[in-house]
Amino acid sequence: MNKELSIKDLENLTGIKAHTIRIWEKRYNILDPKRTDTNIRYYDTQDLVKLLNITSILDSGMRISKVSTLTKDEINQQILEIKSENIDGAKKIIINELIGATLQCDAISFESTFISYRSQYGFEATIEDILYPLLIRIGLMWTVSKLNPSQEHFTSQLIKQKLFSAINELPLVASKRKFLLYLPEKEDHEIGLLYAYYLIKKSGYQTIYLGPSVPLVDVIECAKNSEATEILCAFTIPHSEDRIAKYLDKIVSKLSFTNVLLHNVNLQNKRDAYAGKVVFLNSLEDLRNLL
């Protein structure tokens, strides 16, 4: 991660307005920004982690005037108490801890946090309440160019390992409904698709997983050979309606015997044209209702 964070970066990553951060610095000495050789103020990873912890304590009801008097050990103690008493507050803190583990590529910390939450609330709650929001936050850090690609890969690969492990623990089944899952060409972010794989297999259906960036011609051949009854395809990056429509036209024309399930597309003006041919999934609940 770029160690030189601007105050605007802190605002984007913590949700605290830059104006408020400046006030806290002057009035309470919450942070002590560094300066570059050209005298430009900046913050580092430790400042970010401290501010994330402070936001969690503030959310619990403590005033900033009180938080500002706490030592580092006292702040850590407050964090532990919130985690044990407030489930919503605990989720936010756990996500912050995983962000810290991501920034430091600390696999031990990441693993222990994951295992602890999973043992209490289960695998699906961990994915949906913790890891998915974490990925959103990491995506934000990526957009402000404050995340090194290695750090993003560190977390995404750990999450994929968890998903593959959970999938492999489920029994193999043969079923009349056969789901074929894949991402189209140049689509590489497969974590959401892997979770769909887990949910479908857990529901007792045979599942064929092709993974990311699969050419449509190969999908069609596999669907025919396997006699898949349903295809689940997801788009993870924006595309125009015309491009999506052309893609769907090819699938529908080649695989008339297969139900097409499509997630995360902007096709508001053309959805009626695919009534009875394509099922548009907008959420996990939509997928669960089909299973």
Give residue 241's domain range. Answer: 172-290
Q: Final residue of a domain: which of 115, 140, 166?
A: 166
**Shared-domain flag, residues 104 and 202:** no
**Is 214 in a helix, a strand, or coil?**
strand
Task: Supply 257's token pair.
Answer: 């015997």
Number of domains in the chain: 2
In a domain, 2, yes or no: no
- Among 3-12, 139-148, 214-223, the minimum mean pLDDT is found in 139-148
Closest by Cα among 34, 42, 30, 52 to 103: 52
What pLDDT does 80 receive? 87
Please answer whether residues 213 and 188 qualify as being in contact, where contact means their C-beta atoms are separated by less than 8 angstroms.
Answer: yes
Signed CA dihedral, 264, 270, 272, 274: sign only: negative
What pTM was estimated for this model as a whole? 0.84
Percent of the chain past pLDDT 70, that is, above it, reads 95
Q: Final residue of a domain: which of 166, 199, 227?
A: 166
Enumerate the H helices of 203-240 as residue ranges: 216-226
In a domain, 281, yes or no: yes
Query: Mind listing the pLDDT tens digit for each residue in 170-216?
Result: 999 899 999 999 999 999 989 999 999 999 999 999 999 999 999 99
CATH number, position 14 = 1.10.1660.10
**Shared-domain flag, residues 160 and 282:** no
Query: Mind listing the pLDDT tens digit for each residue in 107-147?
Result: 999 999 999 999 999 999 999 999 999 988 877 666 555 56
User: Is residue 256 scored above 90 in pLDDT?
Assistant: no
Q: Final residue of a domain: which of 149, 166, 183?
A: 166
Q: Output the CA–CA distances (angstroms, integers) from residue 174 to 47, 166, 203, 226, in the order listed.
A: 53, 19, 12, 12
